[in-house]
Amino acid sequence: MSSDNDGNGNQHAQSEEDPRSHLMRAALNELAAGESGLGFIYSALELLAERFELSDAVIVLENESVGLQIFRLGGRDVSVDLAMRLRTTSAVYCTPDIVPADELEVVRLACQHALSSPSSPFLTPNSRSYISRALVVVDVVTLVMAMANVHGPARFFVGLVFGVVIPGWSVVGLLKLKNAALEIGLTVATSLSMIMILAQIMITVHLWHPILLQELICVLCFPSLWWQSTTVHRRFGRVR
């Protein structure tokens, strides 16, 4: 018989591993096939929260270079008060405290392995939300300027950001690729490709009108940008 320490510091005696932990391990292995590093850790917390309908989850992991690191569900901020309340050992903490010790340990070990493995930089859920909110503003400002026939340096700068980023992010951002370099490259490439394809279509049907094209892209991209800007709030509610 073995004794395990769960993510909330409680001792649990058990004779064999809970069969449910095998399902969690399988789900994490499937997740690891497409993600790694910090992206895997946040996705693992989301998986745990969805599986047990948790309102919050925090994992404390050991890093040889910087010591203990704390990751919170949805990329939420970790307050000083919360950090002080957490124990200084590697563990998973959940609210409510309903997750079996076996499954907490499976998640902890998988995330510890992901943290110890080299990975590409990625965008956290909060970062994605902030980027999308900024692009919503750019999209709306661009549409207003186009409709009001505003010209000048401001129109040029906003239009440049719009053309290079917004069409691509409205598509690539939905994929959540967990690789910042790849997402940036695909965003720019997709933006330019979409603009060229739409422009060619308009020329072909003899409806070439640059202002109309810009307004059309603004309208088409807005729903995706708005959806991405509110994803964190919808999924995890207000951060306390």
Q: What is the pLDDT of residues 62-103, one digit of tens each?
A: 877 667 888 888 888 888 887 777 766 788 999 898 988 888
- Which residues lie closer than 8 Å to 33 by C-beta, 6 or more apart? none
| Token output for 150 | 């505003």
More confident residue, 136 or 51: 136
Enclosing H/E stretch for 157: helix 153-172
Q: Vertex 55, ends 123 and 41: CA angle to 5°? A: 35
- Which residues lie closer than 8 Å to 57 by C-beta, 6 or more apart? 45, 48, 49, 72, 73, 92, 93, 94, 95
Give yes or no for a contact between 220 and 199, defined as CB atoms under 8 angstroms apart. no
Average pLDDT over residues 45-51: 90
Q: How far apart are CA 112 and CA 110, in angstroms?
A: 5
Q: What pLDDT was estimated at residue 132?
A: 92
How many Cα atoms are found within 13 Å in the side-chain-facing hemisphere of 105?
Answer: 16
Q: What pLDDT was estimated at residue 215?
A: 92
The answer, yes or no, to whether residue 234 has pLDDT greater than 60, is: no
pTM: 0.53
DSSP readout, 109-153? HHHHHHHHS-------HHHHHHHHHHHHHHHHHHHHHHHHT--SH
The answer, yes or no, to whether residue 13 has pLDDT greater than 50, is: no
Average pLDDT over residues 153-179: 90
More confident residue, 157 or 230: 157
Q: How far apart are CA 87 and CA 68, in angstroms?
A: 10
Q: What pLDDT was estimated at residue 220?
A: 93
- Residue 27 confidence class, pLDDT cut points 50, 70, 90: confident
Give yes or no for a contact between 73 and 57, defined as CB atoms under 8 angstroms apart. yes
The answer, yes or no, to whether residue 179 has pLDDT greater than 80, is: no
Q: What pLDDT was estimated at residue 139?
A: 95
Average pLDDT over residues 116-125: 64
